[in-house]
């Protein structure tokens, strides 16, 4: 028979052994380092991922798919060589992720593709460049020189994107950059804030989704802030666009629904406290005749409850541009434009169908 003390010690050790984590549990707490395409694979059991500087060669793409709840941190730049691969070139696909870019850059080497035609022809351009899937927080990184569309958002739950820069300003040279959208969004429960976009197309394009906030962002050189274009079967609702600055852009604010769209809708959109200047063509354009700006609008989709309220949204349009165009085939509701102030530009054209537009200066 063992002495009493020895028996107690054995029992204690047995308890410790039973509570020791399994190998799988230990792996899920491991820190995984990514410094090449090969090390970016098989991250499912990694709850901490550190991405060091590396270059992605022609033909390769990268997907970062870590354990749910993972923290992913950039500690160096990711550079993509000219490639024949299709986009997206970089995908972050992790649920409940905390993605901290550390101020580093994801470089798409756009100048090797830009030819003024974007995705409409010319050189094949991988797009989108970066795809955000899963859900969580994404912050503090720069997407530089994307071949075409920069960041596509297809997240599946509540997501906050903050302090992100899309810099395609180099594409201004000889007007070679084209279709370089900053954020293309097809998701719900998304907030984009305190970010900067310098490009040659939409700063934000919302293609579908609900409960979307775009606030305190800066856009320049592109096509302003857009909802759409909205295609058949797509809906957008519950959007707040506030506190943003748009400068030196072709358009200011747009809602664009495809002329041939059916079973589609845009509803419950609020603009507040935005400042727009140097707008060349349309200060505010709400149209159901896309791709025409003001043509023959479709009648099998609906726009309703569009409001400029809260703080004043001011829009300064160049003398050759047009202040406000509403081009409706099927618009409804009472639209409160009391906090919209458009200056400069040509006389506005309002054909709002069954919607009643009240207030505002334009």
Catalytic residues: 201, 223
For 233-262, b/e burial (b = at least 16 CB within 10 A) is: ebebbbbbbbbbebbebbbbbbbbbbbebe
Helices (H), the chain: 4-19, 23-28
B/e letters for 49-64, b = 16+ CB within 10 Å, e = fewer, are bbbbebebeeebbbbb
Backbone angles phi and psi of 26, in degrees to 5? -60, -45
Distance CA 194, CA 164 (A): 7
Cβ density class 25-45: b for 16+ within 10 Å, e for less:
eeebeeebebeebeebeebeb
Coil vs helix vs strand at 114: coil
**Are 55 and 27 within 8 A, CB to CB?**
no
Give CA–CA dist 242/219, Å, rounded: 13
Q: ∠156-158-160 over CA atoms, to 5°?
A: 115
SS3 14: helix
By the 8 A CB rule, do 168 and 200 touch? yes
| Side-chain half-sphere CA neighbours of 206 within 13 A | 30
Contacts of 162 (CB under 8 A, 6+ apart): 137, 138, 139, 140, 191, 192, 193, 194, 195
Pairing of strands 264-272, 301-308: parallel
Question: Do strands 313-327 and 235-242 pair parallel, antiparallel, or not at all (unpaired)?
Answer: unpaired
DSSP H/E element including 216: none
């Amino acid at each position: 028979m063992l002495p009493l003390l020895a028996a107690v010690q054995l029992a204690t050790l047995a308890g410790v052994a039973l509570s020791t984590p399994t190998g799988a549990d230990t792996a899920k707490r491991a820190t995984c380092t990514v410094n090449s395409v090969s090390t970016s694979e098989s991250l499912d059991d990694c709850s901490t991922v550190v991405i060091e500087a590396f270059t992605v060669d022609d033909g390769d793409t990268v997907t970062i798919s870590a354990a749910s709840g993972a923290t992913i941190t950039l500690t160096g730049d990711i550079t993509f060589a000219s490639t024949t691969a299709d986009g997206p070139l970089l995908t972050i696909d992790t649920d409940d992720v905390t993605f901290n870019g550390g101020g580093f850059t994801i470089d798409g080497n756009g100048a090797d593709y830009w030819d003024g035609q974007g995705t409409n022809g010319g050189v094949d351009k991988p797009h989108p460049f970066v795809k955000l899937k899963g859900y969580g927080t994404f912050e503090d990184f720069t997407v530089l020189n994307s071949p075409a569309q920069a960041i596509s958002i297809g997240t599946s739950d509540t997501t906050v994107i903050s302090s992100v820069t899309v810099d395609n300003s180099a594409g201004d040279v000889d007007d070679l950059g084209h279709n370089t959208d900053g954020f293309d969004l097809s998701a719900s429960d998304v907030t984009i804030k305190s970010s900067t976009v310098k490009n040659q197309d939409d700063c934000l394009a919302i293609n579908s989704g609900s409960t979307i906030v775009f606030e305190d962002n800066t856009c320049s050189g592109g096509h302003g802030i857009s909802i759409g274009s909205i295609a058949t079967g797509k809906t957008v609702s519950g959007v707040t666009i506030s506190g943003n600055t748009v400068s030196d852009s072709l358009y200011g604010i747009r809602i664009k629904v495809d002329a041939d769209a059916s079973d589609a809708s845009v509803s419950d959109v609020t603009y507040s406290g935005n400042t727009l200047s140097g707008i060349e063509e349309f200060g505010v354009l709400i149209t159901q005749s896309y791709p025409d700006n003001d043509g023959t609008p479709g009648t099998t989709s609906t726009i309703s409850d569009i409001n400029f309220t809260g703080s004043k949204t001011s829009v300064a349009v160049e003398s050759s541009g047009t202040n406000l165009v509403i081009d409706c085939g099927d618009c409804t509701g009472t639209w409160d434009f009391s906090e919209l102030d458009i200056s400069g530009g040509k006389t506005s054209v309002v054909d709002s169908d069954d919607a009643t537009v009240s207030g505002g200066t334009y």
